[in-house]
Structure 1
Amino acid sequence: MTEGNFVDYIKIYASSGKGGRGSAHLHREKYIAKGGPDGGDGGRGGHVIFRGDKNMWTLFHLKFKRHFRAEHGSDGGSSRSTGKDGTDVIIPVPLGTIIRDADTDEILFEITEEGKEVVVLEGGMGGRGNWHFKSSTNQTPRYAQPGIEGQEAWFRVELKVLADVGLVGFPNAGKSTLLSVITAAKPKIADYAFTTLKPNLGIVEYRNHQSFVMADIPGIIEGAAEGKGLGHYFLRHIERNSLLLFLIPADSEDIKKEYDILLNELRKHNPELLDKQRLLAISKADMLDDELKSEIEQDLPKGIEALFISSVAQMGLTELKDKLWKYLNE
């Protein structure tokens, strides 16, 4: 899937169906001149429903169809025949999708389970037929209820990628390379900033046929929380991750400073992100000898466990997977 096909934000319009009209029919049959009211009820208008689909991971299918209208209910008929209900509109979305009211920005609900359905707009009720209104004082009512109008609204649909481990780092820190080495994912890799323009997901195979999901999030730059670079469009994906793996290359001028900047951007975006478990990996460590490693260890940030890895040289990756698995299952 190309970067242009990854869509994680869309605005759509939806309207539910109007209820069908009740019938004011009067029964007429040979030899029965005044059979009385027998008008049936109108059918219910169609609902607008969001449904979780685990086989989807982008909102690309909504990019070119942003208007959804459910079917109106059919009118009631004679012999107390109820009109047909309008067909519901079902909008499939990936797991991790949040639905907001486009006017108030209020979060209405989120979908994180396969097959979960949420009715976002209910169809209008069908009107009652005239036989409901028959009484001892009004035996031939010649009126029935109209159907209730449907509802309409604009919604903002946002996707937050679901993954166990989120890779956090500056552009060109080696996140895509790491993902390509320890998973079957094939992200775009090149020696320039912002190679990754969309989150990439990969499944890390662990021992005994166990696995966990890792996400390569587009690189953070200083000021990302204010919208610089790729801005907050990717920061929201980190909110779903259980564990944050900070990746800083060994040839960085100041590893502690880079870590503090990354941490600060997360804090400005959402302070709750700092409550997540964190692990620090120093990438490109194959260029270090023992003496250089010792020097770097003296200046590493406090309060976070760190280890040295090299994706290219396949160094420290087994230890990294062991650490990640341990953190995820504590």
Structure 2
Amino acid sequence: MKENTLLRVNNLKTTFYSKNKKVQAVRGVSLQVNTGDILGIVGESGSGKSVLMKSVINILPENAKIDSGKIYFEGKNILNLSSKEMRKIKGKEMAMIFQDPMTALNPLKKVGDHIVEVLVRHKGMNKKEAYKKAVDLLSDVGIPTPEKRVNQYPHEFSGGMRQRVLIAMALACGPKLLIADEPTTALDVTIQAQILELLKSLKEKSGMSIILITHDLGVVAGTCNRVNVMYGGLIMEEGLIDEIFYNPKHPYTKALLNSIPKVEGEEKRRLEPISGSAPSLLNPPKGCPFAERCKFAQEICFKEMPEYKSFSETHKTMCFLAK
């Protein structure tokens, strides 16, 4: 493992079990996050993005199980840690921001109490110290008059301000890895841009790594330095921003790019929606999960899972047609 690799996931498989059924949400995913990276994980709803990250941070529901694979954080396989040891890492070394700021905060608790609770539990601060730190954190994430706002309730905050509170909570212990699960989905476009700029500036200031889960390639383009394109519980393609946007290799990546409105240039171009729907992970296909929707699919695509083909040290894709 390289010295600057903070997180490495090897062939991870996560399944949901229900009575006689099992949903194979993550089907053998490998990825890495280097120190200082902002890695975008992009794909449609149901592709396995959030389950993958919940597997990493160990907050899966009771009916979900990691069947196989390894997750190395700072060189240590965290799947071998006890619950007590993992609790020391969660929130302190790695933290997660959830996608809906409207429901993620307890409406009966003051905003400051949410942050204080994190600081007391993980940093061992007394309440007086923790409240002072909470005010500083609210200031760091751009909330005006934090001395007043720290004593207000979530309903007194807008959606964008609540998302900033969630970011402050996640940053409270100075994590090395921040996982942001669709952090701008519930916000309007102007606030989205502010939140993404905030994440980038906090990364520059603290040196932490960020994993940004999103279905929006536009968000990825302006924020991340590396991208993993996920579909059907698998990574279809991965690469640097320029490799994915200017030299995409997988038909799914190309289809996602063709469905984005473009403002540059004078030529008018009709958007191309991706026909069909994502495959059921209750009975996932034998071959490439995108084959049913792919206009380039051949017979072999339905029968066999393609292997990864590399185009550079940073760029690879899972496709029989890749050249």
TM-score range for the pair, normalised by the shorter chain length: under 0.3
Q: Which structure exhibits the higher relative contact order, with contacts defined as CA atoms closer than 8 Å and separated by 6 or more residues?
A: 2
| Higher Rg of the two aligned structures | 1
TM-score (norm 2): 0.25
| Structure with greater helix percent | 2
